[in-house]
Structure 1
Amino acid sequence: MAISILVTTAVTIFLRPDSVISELKPLPDYLHVCRRSNPDIANCIMESAYFLRTKLAAGIPELGVAPMDPMVINTLMPSNGHGIKIETTNLLVTGTSNFTLSYLKANIDRQKYEFQVRFPHMHVLGNYSIDGRIVRMAIKGHGDFDLDIYGVKCNVSLLGNVVDIDGSNYIRFNNISLRIMVDKGKIELRNLFGGDKNLGDVLNSAINSNFIMFFMELRPIIQKVLEEFVLDTVEKLTRHFTYEQLFPD
């Protein structure tokens, strides 16, 4: 069912009120609907999300939906933390389609959804620029990075409403909150201190010995990446379908 896309792309995304509605399409077979009258609609949405998982991983070109795995983010993502400035771009994220849903709460009347998505392992490649101090050490450099994170948990809250556009009802989401947590991880920042291998190795070792502390600096970037990807995906998935198509009586 189409609203399951909200939970799968966490993972996850809003419709913009000024989106242009293209020609209405019949619901494809891979979008399993859940009726508003279903007393266990939350479980129905979760089952629909699992059914859609493979399709989202590969992308849905007929709806303009980019692949979820790998997820490609080319936008510059800045983050200013406690005494450190980090920017990333050209991100390639894998492992996002191998998700499970821990729980889902759905309020169809209010278009409010709260759920937790878990990923066993996510791998991120990209470019970075960093300047500041971490674990009492100065850190400066720019280049490629290689990040692995394990035991990823995303708590997501989506809030929207149903709006009338040209006489038809459409779902529009206007608020998202996504909070990510990880159990452990490892990162390699290449070309630190202008390529000084000895200093780079020492600092990478110090970062990985205090990985969770370092991840807290990266967390705003990763949360922003997931939020923007979810927004774009849901907009493209739902712009073609009315509220009544997605949630029949």
Structure 2
Amino acid sequence: MKIVLNFISIVLLFLCLYLQNTEAVLSVNATPEYVHPCRKSDPELNECIKATLNHLRPYVLQGIPEINVPSIEPLIIQKMQMENGHGPVKMRGIFSNMTIHGGGNYTILSVKSDLNKYRVDFGIHLPYIEVTGNYDVNGNVLLLPVRSRGEFWASFTNVTAVAKLYGIEVTKDGVKFMKTDRLGIGFKLQKPLFRIKDVINRNNVIGEAMNVFLNENANEIIEEMKPAASQAIGKHFKNFLNTAFLQIPLKVWLKDYE
């Protein structure tokens, strides 16, 4: 019996340590340095939220271990899927092992909020984004069948985006939080450049022709793929935002929240 009790004690200890590492919820009385708090009653609430998001930039660059938020420079995305079934570009793509540089250099340009409905829209600017990773795509471009798999590199300049965040209130252990329920993303960018290393059409004219085609028609292809890309990006960043939102009580960043 003593051995069994000792074993149970050890298991409970490990469970406690595990929960401490995964649930890094802040106290409602905390005001960590990375939080620039606002008040719902502030007539300049939108400007305050904008300042809060810009204030976060150096902290998310490094990551915030206290609430399990990883660094966004570089941003690592293990897998992202997108599919476009309409128009001249019909394509299904799986992108994996993606490394994104430049996301930490964001600037929040504008904020429009209605925190009674947990709704926040914000405009973002990124001077330059560079992405590397693996891809696997198949589909049709202008009625021509496309099948390609390998490594890719892409860069984008002067990226502007509008994010529409739809939140809901959730309660954990009597403490209220805002959770991202939906996140819509719309974006514009300039000077897209692509380079692929196709392992299916390796070392032949088809592989090189695809590189030429991608760059000569980059704007048109991006325009066709925007809805699918926006959906995939919104899904990823919804999860990323909730990593933080569900660790920071509403009372911490909205000081007059009741």
Report how far residue 193 of structure 1 moved: 4.5
Aligned length: 230
- Does residue 167 (structure 1) correspond to residue 174 (structure 2)? The answer is yes
In structure 2, the CA distance between the partners of 1:60 and 1:228, relative to structure 1 (3 Å rule), is farther
Take 2:58 and 2:25, find their aligned partners in 1: how far apart are those partners?
26
Matched to 1:79, the amino acid is E
Question: Are the equivalent residues in 2 in contact too, given 1:169–1:243 (CA < 8 A)?
Answer: yes
- Does residue 65 (structure 1) correspond to residue 69 (structure 2)? The answer is yes
Matched to 1:74, the amino acid is Q
Structure with the larger helix share: 2
Take 1:42 and 1:59, find their aligned partners in 2: how far apart are those partners?
25
Give % identity: 22
Take 2:204 and 2:77, find their aligned partners in 1: how far apart are those partners?
29
* Aligned partner (choices 36, 43, 46) of residue 42 of structure 1: 46
Please state whether the residue corresponding to 2:238 is helix, strand or coil: helix
- Does residue 75 (structure 1) correspond to residue 79 (structure 2)? The answer is yes
> How big is the alpha-carbon RMSD for the aligned residues of Structure 1 and Structure 2?
2.3
* Aligned partner (choices 114, 121, 125) of residue 114 of structure 1: 121
Take 1:145 and 1:160, find their aligned partners in 2: how far apart are those partners?
35
Take 1:23 and 1:206, find their aligned partners in 2: how far apart are those partners?
49
State the structure with bigger RCO (CA 8 A, min sep 6), 1 or 2. 1
Normalising by structure 2, we get a TM-score of 0.80
Matched to 1:144, the amino acid is E
* Aligned partner (choices 56, 59, 84) of residue 55 of structure 1: 59
Partner of 2:242: 235
Matched to 2:181, the amino acid is N
Take 2:25 and 2:102, find their aligned partners in 1: how far apart are those partners?
33
Report how far residue 79 of structure 1 moved: 2.1
Take 1:80 and 1:189, find their aligned partners in 2: how far apart are those partners?
20
Question: Are the equivalent residues in 2 in contact too, given 1:76–1:89 (CA < 8 A)?
Answer: yes
Take 2:227 and 2:133, find their aligned partners in 1: how far apart are those partners?
16
Report how far residue 215 of structure 1 moved: 1.7
- Does residue 246 (structure 1) correspond to residue 250 (structure 2)? The answer is no
Alpha-carbon deviations, 1:10-59, whole Å to 9, x = none?
xxxxxxxxxx9655432311211011121101111111222210111121
Please state whether the residue corresponding to 1:195 is helix, strand or coil: coil
- Does residue 144 (structure 1) correspond to residue 151 (structure 2)? The answer is yes
Report how far residue 218 of structure 1 moved: 4.5
- Does residue 201 (structure 1) correspond to residue 208 (structure 2)? The answer is yes
Q: Which stretches in structure 2 are left out of the alignment for 5+ residues?
A: 1-21
Alpha-carbon deviations, 1:116-165, whole Å to 9, x = none?
11111111101011223325544322100001112212111111233344
Question: Are the equivalent residues in 1 in contact too, given 2:84–2:225 (CA < 8 A)?
Answer: no
Structure (1 or 2) with the larger CA radius of gyration: 2
- Does residue 188 (structure 1) correspond to residue 195 (structure 2)? The answer is yes
In structure 2, the CA distance between the partners of 1:147 and 1:81, relative to structure 1 (3 Å rule), is farther
Take 2:200 and 2:240, find their aligned partners in 1: how far apart are those partners?
38
Matched to 2:215, the amino acid is N
Take 1:133 and 1:161, find their aligned partners in 2: how far apart are those partners?
40
Report how far residue 247 of structure 1 moved: 0.4
Partner of 2:110: 103
Partner of 1:27: 31
Please state whether the residue corresponding to 1:216 is helix, strand or coil: helix
Normalising by structure 1, we get a TM-score of 0.82
